[in-house]
């Protein structure tokens, strides 16, 4: 079974608008961490934001915020005020406490920002 | 220094060649990773080194041989590769904290490998 599901292969957003990228996950481990990475066409994976399963508040990092709904097992990334440089592939990932250093990635969402 | 460097950026090799990919970090991270990424796919974990010891090998064929000479360096030795091994090879590192919080992975720019 897929541990991380990203159901949007591609998304378009107008510049300066907000966009939500969906991510659902599946785990029976009570302790886990969720990560979002951005991968521009150049190839480098850039860490954006982290949410721990025990964190009481939704994570925020600048224009990035994470809408964490634990009961629904979803961890959607919200990008506010989109910029042209936000055009990239976005991956949701999870690390379970029982999984040592292993991180499982979703299939990704390609975001294109339109001027 | 908050970056992971990888060399070379591009590599073209024949199926009989032997080559190596190199990865370096100077952030004091104690976990280092090799991933393989095919076009339009997520990264696939190959190997993990924790405190310079191989801790995870995701059933990778023996034509890929990892090496961790010290806490800052990670190599991937390649021998007798197949055309289907052509991919982007990403190296990453992380602090290896005992808890999950803040243990994000920092990635290098990758090596684009083409096997002819």
* Per-residue tokens: B53: 């010891």
**Burial track B2-23 (b if 16+ CB lie within 10 A, e otherwise):** eebebeeeebebeeeeebebbb
Which residues in A8-80 belong to E strands, given as ranges? Answer: 10-14, 19-21, 24-25, 32-39, 46-52, 60-61, 64-69, 74-79
Q: Which residues, in sequence order, are CB contacts of B77 under 8 Å at separation 6+?
A: B18, B19, B20, B64, B65, B66, B67
Asked if pLDDT for residue A88 goes beyond 90, the answer is: yes
Helix (H/G/I), strand (E/B), else coil: B84: helix
Over residues A56-74, the pLDDT tens digits come to 899 999 999 999 999 999 9
So what's the pLDDT on residue A96?
A: 86
Chain B touched by A32 (CB under 8 Å): yes
Minimum Cα–Cα distance from A98: chain B residue:
B100
So what's the pLDDT on residue A6?
A: 97
Q: What kind and span of H or E run contains B23?
A: strand B18-25
HSE of A93, CA atoms in CB hemisphere, 13 A: 29
**Beta-carbon separation of A35 and B45 below 8 A:** no
**Beta-carbon separation of A101 and B96 below 8 A:** yes
* Per-residue tokens: A96: 């379970």
* Per-residue tokens: B85: 């091994």
So what's the pLDDT on residue B44?
A: 94
B64-70 and B73-79 strand pairing: antiparallel
Chain B touched by A102 (CB under 8 Å): yes
Over residues A2-41, the pLDDT tens digits come to 799 999 999 999 999 999 999 999 999 888 999 999 999 9
Asked if pLDDT for residue A80 goes beyond 90, the answer is: yes
Find chain A residues with C-beta within 8 A of B92's C-beta: 45
Chain B touched by A80 (CB under 8 Å): no
So what's the pLDDT on residue B63?
A: 95
Distance from CA of B86 to the nearest CA of A (A): 15
The C-alpha atoms of residue B92 and residue B23 are separated, in whole angstroms, by 8
So what's the pLDDT on residue B100?
A: 59
Helix (H/G/I), strand (E/B), else coil: B13: strand
Is residue A45 within 8 A of residue B107, CB to CB? The reply is: yes
Stretch A94-101: mean pLDDT, rounded?
Answer: 78
The C-alpha atoms of residue B38 and residue B112 are separated, in whole angstroms, by 10
- Give which of A101, A102, A111 to mutate to test B binding, by max B Cβ within 10 Å: A101
Find chain A residues with C-beta within 8 A of B48's C-beta: 100-102
Residue segments in chain B with a per-residue pLDDT below the cut of 70: 1-2, 98-102
Residues B113, B115, B116: CA angle, nearest 5 degrees: 145
- Would you call B71 exposed, middle or buried from its count of C-beta atoms within 10 A (0-12, 13-18, 19+)? middle
- Would you call B76 exposed, middle or buried from its count of C-beta atoms within 10 A (0-12, 13-18, 19+)? buried
Find chain B residues with C-beta within 8 A of A64's C-beta: none
**Among the partner residues B45, B101, B110, nearest to A44 by beta-carbon distance:** B110
So what's the pLDDT on residue B20?
A: 97
């Amino acid at each position: 079974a897929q541990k991380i599901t990203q159901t949007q292969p591609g998304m378009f957003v107008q510049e300066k608008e907000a966009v939500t990228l969906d991510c659902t996950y599946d785990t029976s481990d009570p302790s886990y961490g969720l990560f979002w990475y951005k991968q521009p066409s150049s190839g480098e994976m850039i860490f954006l934001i982290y949410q721990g399963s025990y964190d009481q508040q939704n994570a925020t990092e600048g224009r990035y915020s994470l809408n964490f709904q634990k009961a629904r097992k979803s961890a959607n990334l919200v990008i506010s005020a989109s910029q042209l440089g936000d055009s990239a592939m976005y991956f949701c990932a999870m690390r379970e406490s029982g999984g040592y250093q292993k991180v499982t990635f979703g299939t990704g969402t390609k975001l294109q920002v339109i001027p | 220094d908050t970056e992971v460097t990888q060399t070379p950026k591009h590599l073209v090799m024949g199926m009989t060649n032997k080559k190596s990919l190199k990865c370096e970090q100077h952030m004091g991270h104690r976990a280092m990773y090799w991933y393989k990424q095919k076009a339009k796919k997520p990264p696939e974990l190959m190997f993990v080194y924790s405190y310079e010891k191989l801790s995870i090998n995701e059933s990778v064929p023996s034509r890929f041989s990892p090496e961790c000479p010290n806490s800052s360096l990670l190599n991937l030795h390649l021998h007798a590769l197949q055309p289907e091994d052509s991919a982007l090879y990403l190296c990453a590192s992380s602090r290896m904290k005992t808890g999950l919080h803040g243990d994000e992975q920092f990635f290098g720019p990758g090596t684009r490998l083409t096997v002819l």
